[in-house]
Amino acid sequence: MPRYQYIVETLSPIHIGTGETMLPIEFQISKDARQMFVPELDRVFSKYPREVDHFSRQLKNLQPNKISTTTLDELLKIEIDKDDEVLKYKTYRPEKENNYGKFGLDKLKYQLSHQSNSNRAIEVRLATKTPDYKVYIPATSIKGALRTAWAYANVDESLLRKIEESASRNPEEASRYIQDIFQGKERQANYDLFRVLQLSDTEAKLAQEVLYVVAIRVLSAGVKSSDQMAGAKWKNYWIFCEAIAIKRKYEGTLFFQDELLKNDIASKALGWKESQKKFTLEALCKAVNDFSQKVCEWESRYFSRIQNKPDNPDNVELKSILKFYEELKKDIQKADKNTCFLSIGYGSGWHKMTVGMLLEEKSKRFAETRRALKLADRYLDFEYPKSRKLIMISDTKAYPLGWIKLQFNQLK
């Protein structure tokens, strides 16, 4: 059974969340807004018993509606950033001013100091970590993105017609047609083509080496299928997430169980189709790169049709986004047979995590499908999705989220 080391390199910040959030009462930000500290309160109170009464009194005096907007600085007299013994973890400390993490904490600190102007609770979305608070990338996030790209590559005209005919009347049936790309003779996990790929989670790394807090905004644009320029505006809120920094490398292990494809007895028992028997790591990398190339082109078209308004507070600096995708396309074109580029985690969006881009490009009944599935069905003259989540490096300068380079090296 071939065994591979896989290497993930982050090209833009990655947030893979737990679904949990952290309120301001649970962390401190350094005075220079370059680092976040997350304490274990039991350790704080054990080491500094006088803090218990102070904390309790301050908390008791808070009105219920103020608990979600109160900072830890208001409840503790000590500065926990000076004592690693009481910390669960601390984030990476960026040295450069022009940095996602520096801007993210600056903006979070600003929002906390002006939160009386907003009814929206300020919270930080937590990244996936081990029980000892080290940061890793789950295999399921990588495998899910690989699966989407393989599905996109294997939807032929006949299957596309079946999907579009069933999507509006029975979405579950349409989903089953897509699953048939992966299924052998039965619709069960044991007969799924991707059982051939056995990925481990990546290694786990200290939060202070890889993790920072980023600020995200949602851009909504009325982009139409024509070449007509469209207006855009930012949603009037900020999202704060823990994210793996750019230019970080993670390693994991992959077993490619090709005997399930090559062995006649196994192949017959699992009921593989001829197209499924051709599944290889090289074929998968090609499918992923072809899909990502399409995504880059799709996103470039979307952003190139947004009208730039430099003096408008809703202005978005498009050059940085378009340049990112232009350079990514070049990297994809130069990729070797064991390297691919893909988007994972929060902000990847509907068109990167489904075959929806294929339906929107080729289906003649996509408007009907959108009505049935209630996909922004009041705005059928606009492309779907209408909005994008973008990571900010200033109030208007943005970059895409979630892109990684994935490389496979066969081990002896």
What number of helices (H) and strands (E) belong to the chain?
A: 15, 17
Domains of the chain, by residue range, sit at: 3-13+137-411, 24-122
Q: What is the pLDDT of residue 71?
A: 87
Q: Is residue 116 over pLDDT 80?
A: no
Q: List, for residues 224-281, the tens digit of each pLDDT value.
A: 766 677 778 889 899 999 999 999 999 999 999 999 999 999 999 999 998 899 999 9
**In which element (H, E) is residue 398 found?**
strand 398-399
How high is the pLDDT of residue 180?
85
pLDDT of residue 117: 53
pLDDT of res. 98: 62
Predicted local distance difference test score (pLDDT) of residue 324: 95
**Average pLDDT over the chain, rounded to an integer:** 88
Least confident stretch, 41-55, 261-275, 296-310, 358-372: 358-372
* The pair of three-digit structure tokens given for residue 300, joined into one six-digit string: 């470039």
Give the start-end residues of each E strand in 103-261: 124-127, 134-135, 197-199, 205-206, 211-221, 232-234, 239-244, 249-256
Nearest one of 156, 203, 204, 205 to 180, comparing CA atoms: 156
pLDDT at 42 over 90: yes
Q: Which two tokens stand for residue 203?
A: 């290694």
Q: Report d(CA 89, CA 37) in Å as an integer.
A: 6
Starting at the edge strand found earlier in the chain, the sheet holding 249-256 runs: 197-199, 249-256, 3-10, 403-411, 339-343
Comparing 21-30, 124-133, 170-179, 241-250, which segment has the lowest mean pLDDT? 170-179
pTM of structure: 0.91
Between vectors from CA 324 to CA 217 and to CA 205, what angle results, nearest 5°?
75
